[in-house]
């Protein structure tokens, strides 16, 4: 298994159509098998009215089947997941950051229109 228990991850599910929900999940792996992970963390969804990603308030556990529609980014262990935020950078860029040392550019995976 390439993902281990305790790793922190940022997961993007690729959309089939432009109108599909843009959802991301940031969390810590609590269990894993060869192609399924159980992750505890937060869901982020794109609010098209505000043109920004919004964090859902409740922490949740999700079981995610890894596949070709998933992009999984590994987050360094020292990053506090509750401090992460999505920040729009111009022109038309997007990063996930803790406002300190960690910054993950996800512009290529997100259409900001």
Percentage of the chain with pLDDT > 90? 54
Question: Does the CA dihedral 72-78-81-85 come out positive or negative?
Answer: negative
83 phi and psi angles, rounded to 5 deg: -95, -5
Model-level pTM? Answer: 0.85
Residue 21 has pLDDT above 70, yes or no: no
* pLDDT exceeds 70 at position 5: yes
Q: Contact 42/25 with Cβ under 8 angstroms?
A: yes
Per-residue model confidence (pLDDT) at position 14: 76
> Higher model confidence: residue 95 or residue 23?
95
Residue 93 binned pLDDT confidence (cut-offs 50, 70, 90): confident
């Amino acid at each position: 298994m390439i993902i281990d228990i305790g790793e922190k991850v940022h997961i993007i599910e690729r959309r089939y159509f432009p109108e599909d929900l843009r959802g991301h999940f940031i969390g810590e792996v609590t269990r894993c098998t060869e192609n399924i992970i159980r992750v505890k963390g937060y869901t982020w969804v794109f609010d098209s009215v505000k043109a920004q990603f919004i964090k859902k308030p409740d922490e949740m556990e999700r079981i995610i089947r890894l596949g070709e529609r998933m992009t999984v980014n590994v987050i360094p262990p020292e990053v506090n997941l509750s401090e992460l935020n999505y920040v729009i950078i111009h022109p038309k860029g997007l990063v996930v950051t803790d406002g300190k040392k960690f910054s993950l550019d996800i512009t290529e995976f997100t259409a900001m229109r």
